[in-house]
């Protein structure tokens, strides 16, 4: 998928997210994960980490050397997506207390991911 295609999908997901509330944490966290992954792929494509034919579904699936390089070049980008991914087991698949706070934080992290991708 090209960066432009990723951006269109991310923005469409964000428009849907705008209709949601942090009182719906599962939807917000999952939506942020989806939109954030598109922005993440934009950054990877622009930095030359991957071609449009090869998208990354989760930051954790980056090969070790690429993950290390990205952590040095764009630490905020990688940390933000990792943090969103860390919320999914507890608040999307699970029911731990604090889901509303995690949803709010996810939306903040989406802005970090998007800003990093747009700077490239």
Domain regions of the chain by residue span: 3-119
Say if residues 91 and 98 touch (Cβ distance below 8 Å). yes
The pLDDT assigned to 16 comes to 98
**Biggest distance spanned by C-alpha atoms of the chain:** 40
Question: In angstroms, rounded to a whole number, what is the distance separating the alpha carbons of residues 32 and 72?
Answer: 24
| Average pLDDT across the chain, whole number | 96
How many Å apart are CA 120 and CA 110, to the nearest integer?
16
**Which segment of 5-9, 60-64, 86-90 scores lowest on mean pLDDT?**
60-64
Using one digit for the tens of pLDDT, what is the confidence trace for 69-97? 999 999 999 999 999 999 999 999 999 99
As a whole number, mean pLDDT of residues 100-118 equals 98
Are 3 and 44 in contact by the 8 Å Cβ rule? The answer is: no
Read off the pTM.
0.96
If one counts every other C-beta atom within 10 angstroms of the C-beta of residue 78, the result is 21
8 A C-beta contact, residue 114 and residue 17:
no
SS3 assignment, position 31: helix
In the chain, the N- to C-terminal Cα span, in Å, equals 17
């Amino acid at each position: 998928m090209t960066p432009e295609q990723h951006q269109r999908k991310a923005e469409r997901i964000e428009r849907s997210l705008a209709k949601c509330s942090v009182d719906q944490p599962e939807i917000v966290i999952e939506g942020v994960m989806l939109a954030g992954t598109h922005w993440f792929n934009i950054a990877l494509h622009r930095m030359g980490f991957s071609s449009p034919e090869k998208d990354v579904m989760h930051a954790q699936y980056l090969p070790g050397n690429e993950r290390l390089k990205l952590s040095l070049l764009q630490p905020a980008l990688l940390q933000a997506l990792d943090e969103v991914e860390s919320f999914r087991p507890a608040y999307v698949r699970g029911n731990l207390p604090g889901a509303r706070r995690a949803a709010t934080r996810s939306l903040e992290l989406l802005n970090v991911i998007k800003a990093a991708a747009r700077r490239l």
